[in-house]
Amino acid sequence: SRELAGYLAALAGWVAALAAAVLPQWRQSSYAGDAIITAVGLHEGLWMSCAAQSTGQVQCRLHDSLLSLEVHIQTSRALMVISLLLGFFGIIVSVVGMKCTKVGEEDPVTKSRIAVAGGVLFVLSGLCTLAAVSLYATQVTYEFFRESTIPINARYEFGSALFVGWGASSLSMLGGSLLCCSCPAKERRGQQYHRQSQPSTAREYV
């Protein structure tokens, strides 16, 4: 049950990380200040930027060039892609290693080690997501509070995708930690004890 709970939590974290990577709300227009100077809400993400009109219409445009993007966006992109790849491999490896599956039942020690490897992949995936989201949030905070001629209600603040990313990293690391709790050493000792006890039992019957 512990492995299953960890797997479900890590899987939910991976799905949330995928949603966070796709969402364009990594930063959004700030409505702080005395007055709102525009009726258009601006959102920017890793892959596109969107403008929401007061009438409800939303227009999005993909970022034109990869090389023209700021360094923190390129870094966050790379970290999110690595996180999703690690999580994808963690899903496959964990299914093979969990005790509730029938793959590799003849070798429980190796099966437990595979489950631990899947947990490690999930933890690394969560760390990559945490690094990507935190790096982007740090840049947004710096640009918001630095001295500039731009009015405070025309700057950007945290978007909803950042909070989704933080939640995704927490779930991935929690689920990976639960999967890492599988200890193959105990099973190895029990297996050796079971093998050693069989010859003695046979001699007693003889």
Tell which residue, 163, 161, 155, 136, has the closest CA to residue 32.
Answer: 155
Q: What is the mean pLDDT of each run of 10 residues along the chain (206 residues)?
A: 86 94 87 56 85 78 79 91 95 82 69 86 95 93 73 74 94 91 55 47 42
The Cα 91–Cα 7 span in angstroms is 8
Asked if residue 175 belongs to a domain, the reply is yes
**Structural domain of residue 18, as residue ranges?**
1-23+69-183
Asked if residue 14 belongs to a domain, the reply is yes
Tell which residue, 175, 124, 171, 128, has the closest CA to residue 13.
Answer: 171
Q: What is the DSSP letter of 154?
A: G
pTM higher than 0.85: no
Can you say how many angstroms the Cα of residue 178 is from the centroid of all Cα atoms in its chain?
15
Are 115 and 182 in contact, with CB atoms under 8 Å apart?
A: yes
Asked if residue 100 belongs to a domain, the reply is yes
SS3 157: strand
Give the pLDDT score at 95. 85
Asked if residue 63 belongs to a domain, the reply is no
SS3 149: coil
Asked if residue 58 belongs to a domain, the reply is no
Tell which residue, 127, 122, 117, has the closest CA to residue 182.
Answer: 117
Tell which residue, 27, 60, 10, has the closest CA to residue 179.
Answer: 10
| HSE-CB for 64 with a 13 A CA cutoff | 1
* 45 Cβ contact list (under 8 Å, min separation 6): 22, 23, 24, 25, 26, 159, 161
**Residue 105 is part of a domain; what is its CATH number?**
1.20.140.150
Give the pLDDT score at 138. 92
C-alpha triplet 46, 133, 37: angle, nearest 5°:
65
* 7 Cβ contact list (under 8 Å, min separation 6): 94, 95, 98, 118, 175, 179
Give the pLDDT score at 194. 45
Asked if residue 120 belongs to a domain, the reply is yes
* 124 Cβ contact list (under 8 Å, min separation 6): 86, 176
Asked if residue 203 belongs to a domain, the reply is no
Give the pLDDT score at 68. 75
Structural domains of the chain, count = 1
Q: How far is CA 184 from CA 170, 177, 180, 190, in A?
A: 25, 15, 10, 10
Q: Which two tokens stand for residue 16?
A: 């949330």
Neighbours of 59 (CB within 10 A): 10
Are 162 and 137 in contact, with CB atoms under 8 Å apart?
A: yes
Asked if residue 38 belongs to a domain, the reply is no
